[in-house]
Each structure stands twice: as C-alpha cells, then as structure tokens.
Structure 1
Amino acid sequence: MPMPKLLQLFLDNVNRPRDFKVAVEGDEAEIYLYDAIGDWYGVSAAQFVQELRGLDVATIHLRMNCPGGDVFEGRAMATALAQVKAKTICHIEGLAASAATYVAGACDEVEITPGGFFMIHEAWTLTMGNKRDHQKQIDLLAKVDDSILADYEKRTGASREQLAAWMEAETWFTAEEAKENGFVDAITDTDRKTNRAAWNLAAYANAPAALTKPPAVEDHYNREQAERRLALLERQ
C-alpha cells in the first residue's frame, strides 16, 4: 500500500532544522517562515499569530521558504495577516507550496525571488474508517478546495475553471509564471542566502528534481518515531 502523501512529506523532512523567528528593527518587523505549517511538524498557527499580534510596527515582512502543511492552521495564519493594521509584504525566498500559498496571498503585496517556486494543488488528508467516514472526508475536501479557489480567484482574477485545473494537476509555477498569472506582484532578487533544496518534496507528484532528494539513511530511527506519532494522531 502506498505511503500517504502527508506522512511521506513529514517523514522525508523529519530531521530538517526548525527555522521560525521574528526580528524587529525600528518601525519594521520580519517574520521568517522557513518551516512547515502545523503544530506537530512545523510552526503552529497559535505560535505564528501570537508573534504577529505582538508586533507594533508599520510594516511586516513575511519571509517565506515553506512546503505547506495543515490547511486549517494555514487558514488561521492567513486570517491573522489579513486583519493586522500594518502593511504586510510576503517575500517568497525559495518556495511557497500548498497551504503556504494562501498564507502568502493574505499579504498586501507578494514578491518572489528569481528561481523561486509557487505550487498549488488540491487538499490532502488522511482518513480511517468505513465508507461513510471516507465520504465525509471527500465532502470536506471539496469544501476546502472551494475555499482555497475563492482566495486564488480574488487575488489572480483567473477563472475558477482554470484555477481548479491547475490545482488538480498540482502545478508548479516558476517565479515568472507566478507573476504572469497574478499569484505574486513582483519578482525581486535578494542577497539572503536561501537553500532552495533544503526541503525534500518527493511526496509531491510534480516537484522539480532539485527538491526531491532521497531521504538519508541516518533518518531511519527518527522515521520510526514519526510513524508511531502519526499513528496516534490518526486514532484521535
């Protein structure tokens, strides 16, 4: 039986260093979201929102290199960004994929570095149970996709049909394509050193080859721990 995609994404990156921090200088703040979205394998919405709402500045720069994560945690982050009084600018300094794309899209402006990627796809989940349980999850996923489509439609002006087709195909946009299709506002270079291959994105079907490095052999022990942890979460 194939490994569920969410589980594979988590396990392939279980040993990756965590990287979430906030820096304030004068009337501007920087939030570094160089991690996944989700409280059991990355940055929780609670942590993100607490940091965000504690900022008393005119401009907030969200610096991002994120493979996505939990859809509802991402929604909470996006809602908080949309509600702050400060001007918000997202700088995609490597990757914005999956749930990270509508966190980015909640900002007033979105920039991407040359060579960066922007990926959209249909929502994923893990389910257990009988056919009625699975049907409930199918119905929920359809509602989640509709919500995400509404966000993309508002930002890009693209048709619902085109956006749905891109999501179904798991579409990876280059920086130029993301700008051309309205997902980002500008392509802006950065002198910040960003390791765009730091994420192993082999769980995704169409990820660029540079982002699908095989898991290291030494990850085996931690992978076993992660499998047990996820199994417990599935039974909750």
Structure 2
Amino acid sequence: MKKYFALETKEREADITIFGDITSWPWMESDVSSYNLSKQISMLDVDVINVHLNSYGGEVAEGLAIYNCLKQHMAKVKTYCDGFACSIASVIFMSGDERIMSNASALMIHNPWTYTEGNAQELRKTADDLDKMTQLSVNAYKEHVNISEDEIKQLLDEESWLTPQEALEYGFATIVTGAEAQAKYSQSVRKSVLQKLLRQKSDPKQKDEVPEEKENLMHLFAGISQKEGKR
C-alpha cells in the first residue's frame, strides 16, 4: 500500500508529516488526500497533534477538509512550517492553535485558479465560483490574523510570499524559532500596538467608542517595553 503521509503516535501526542501535494488523486508516495488523512485524524485519541508542513499546496476542497478535520478535533493542534506552506497548505497551517515557523521557512498565499471552457455565461459563473472559493480561504486566515479582510485579499491578489517575520507580524504565525527571530517578534508586536494607539489618537470617534481597548493596549505596550528593557 502506498504511504501518502506519515502519522506516528507516542504517548498522548501524534505527529503528522505532510511533505507533498494535496490531491484527491494521490499517485506519488508524498501525495496527501483528505480521505486518507482525515479518516486517521478523526480516530486519534491524543492530547496534542503536531502537523509538519512542506507543501506547494493542491486542491482547495482537499485542503479545506484537512483544515476542518484538524479544527474539529479535541486535541491541541500545533502546525509547523518546515519549509514552504503554499496555497491551500497555508490554510492547513492556519488550523494550528500554535502556528510555528522557523526563520528559514515561508508562507505563500494567492487566489485559487482553475481550468474551464464553455460559453460566456459558463465562464462568468466560473469566475463567480472562484470568488467564493477565495472567500473560504479568507475566512480561515481572518480567524487569526490582525490585518483587515481587504488587506488579506490584497496579499492574495499579489500572490504574496511571506517571510517568517511578516507572517508573525500579520498574525499568520504565532512563533518564529531562532534567537534573531524572537528579537524581531517583540519589535513587531510593539509596532502593531503603537500603530493601533496612534490610530485611536487621531480618530476621536474611535477613541470614544473603545476606551477599554485603549487601556488594554497601553498595558500591553508597557509590558512589551519592560520586556525589551530586560533583554
């Protein structure tokens, strides 16, 4: 039997390795299908699932099925970008409660595409369907990121490669491994908090509507500053 992915369990943890294309027609040993993987995920009786990714992506439906299966599992999910997490693989990456990148990895996000043929009406419908497919990925991203939906769509339109530091700053990742990356982590968070405080200061209406948020941001900024002062 072909091995489409690696899944190992030890004590109360499971390790899943997805180092290949995500497809409903797995031909190569590295190919991953949602049927094979999701079925085994649902049967796991563990507390933690570690998902290691190095994939150029693949079929939207297959990736979304894996994403949702991981999200629905009772275990804590940790996703690791061990190389590239591109296209629909980046959506699977977003299933993690912790989303970990090394400082030598990258995410790539873009709009879905397809082949089509037919008359003008059929072509227009295909374009509308693609917009809906795009929105599904946007929904997965915006559950965690700290940028707006319009900014997410702009990144998709631009077929964006995200460095670990960019992924961390935007909220795609929660941790970047490596000493240098950790130093940039605090700087990125501090920049984000400062930008929010400045926006509230320049917008009196926003300032009046969310005073408790401003207070929380001030406390967070103070904590970050103290932490950086101790480094």
Task: Give the corresponding residue for 2:8.
Answer: 23
Structure 1 partner of 2:163: 174
Partners of 2:139 and 2:75 lie apart in 1 by 24
- Say what the alpha-carbon RMSD is for the aligned residues: 1.6
Aligned-partner Cα distance in 2 for 1:113–1:19: 24
- Which deviations, in whole Å up to 9, do the C-alpha atoms of 1:157-183 show, x marking residues without a partner? 211111111100000011111111110
Deviates more, 1:35-44 or 1:79-88: 35-44
Write the letter of the residue equivalent to 1:91: Y
For 1:116 and 1:145, locate their aligned partners in 2 and report how far apart those are by CA, in whole Å: 24
For residue 33 of structure 1, what is the aligned residue in structure 2? 18
Provide runs of 4+ in structure 1 moved above 6 Å. Answer: none
Checking the alignment, whether the CA contact within 8 Å between 2:4 and 2:33 is kept in structure 1 is: no
Whether 2:119 is the aligned partner of 1:134: answer: no
Post-superposition CA distance 1:178-233 (Å, at most 9, x none): 111110000125xxxxxxxxxxxxxxxxxxxxxxxxxxxxxxxxxxxxxxxxxxxx
Q: Secondary structure of the equivalent of 1:155? A: coil
Q: Distance in 2 between matches of 1:120 and 1:18?
A: 27
User: Which residue in the other structure is 1:5 paired with?
Assistant: none
C-alpha contact (below 8 Å) 2:8/2:14 kept by paired residues: yes
Q: Which of the pair has the greater relative contact order for Cα pairs under 8 Å at 6+ separation?
A: 1
Rounded Cα–Cα distance in structure 2 between residues aligned with 1:103 and 1:133: 30
Equivalent AA in structure 2 for residue 31 of structure 1: I
Name the counterpart of 1:106: 95
1:156 alignment partner, SS class: coil
Query: 1:81-96 to 2 correspondence within 5 Å?
Result: 81-96=70-85
CA shift, 1:154, in A, is: 1.7
Q: Which has the larger radius of gyration?
A: 2
Matched-pair contact (CA < 8 Å) for 1:63–1:92: yes
Q: Tell me if the contact between 1:36 and 1:67 (Cα under 8 Å) persists in the aligned partners.
A: yes
Determine if the alignment matches structure 1 residue 55 to structure 2 residue 44. Answer: yes
The answer to which of 64-73 and 39-48 deviates more is 39-48
1:76 corresponds to which residue? 65
2:137 corresponds to 1:152: no
1:19 Cα deviation after fit: 5.8
- Report the CA distance between 1:18 and its aligned residue: 7.3
User: Aligned partners of 1:152 and 1:91: how far apart in 2?
Assistant: 16
Indicate the percent of aligned positions where both proteins have the same amino acid. Answer: 30
Q: Structure 2 stretches of 5 or more lacking a match? A: 179-231
Separation in 2, partners of 1:18, 1:26: 23
User: TM-score, normalized by length of structure 2?
Assistant: 0.72
Secondary structure of 2:144's partner?
Answer: helix
Write the letter of the residue equivalent to 1:23.
E
Counterpart CA distance in 2 for 1:63 and 1:151 is 18
> Take 2:34 and 2:121, find their aligned partners in 1: how far apart are those partners?
30
Aligned length: 173
What TM-score, normalized by structure 1, do the two folds share?
0.70
How far apart, in 1, do the equivalents of 2:107 and 2:117 lie?
Answer: 31
1:111-134, CA deviations, whole angstroms, 9 ceiling, x for partnerless residues? 011110101101111112222221
CA distance in 1, matches of 2:33, 2:5: 10
